[in-house]
């Protein structure tokens, strides 16, 4: 009777260790590798949109600076004086 009980407990444990556990470990570490390898699709789209917005802002800033340079050539000197006075 005790021998039957040992087999009743040992068989499911052995099946788990030989079949389920290795598959579980492989799937787990594949998922970890995918996370470490890079961004998922949604994150890539968001990053692309942010980069596009940053490029637009940089172009706008350059345009504004060109306008300020044309209208008020010494605006950069005033800005530097204000910054040096604040520091």
pLDDT tens per residue across span 14-60: 988 999 999 999 999 888 877 766 777 888 899 999 999 999 999 99
R_g of the chain, CA atoms, integer Å: 32
pTM score: 0.49
Q: Residue 77: pLDDT above 90?
A: no
Residue 58: helix, strand or coil by DSSP? Answer: helix
Listed in sequence order, the residues at least 6 apart from 68 whose beta carbon sits closer than 8 Å to its beta carbon are 75
- Alpha-carbon distance of 28 to 71, in angstroms, equals 62
Residues 42-73 as b/e (b if ≥16 CB within 10 A, e otherwise) read: eeeeeeeeeeeeeeeeeeeeeeeeeeeeeeee
Residue 64: closest CA among 52, 76, 49, 53: 76
């Amino acid at each position: 009777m005790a021998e039957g009980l040992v087999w009743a407990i040992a068989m499911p444990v052995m099946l788990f260790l030989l079949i389920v556990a290795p598959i579980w470990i492989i799937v787990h570490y594949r998922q970890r590798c995918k996370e470490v390898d890079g961004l998922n699709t949604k994150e890539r789209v968001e990053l692309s949109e942010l980069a596009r917005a940053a490029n637009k802002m940089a172009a706008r800033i350059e345009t504004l600076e060109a306008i300020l340079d044309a209208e008020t050539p010494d605006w950069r000197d005033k800005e530097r004086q204000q910054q040096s006075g604040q520091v």
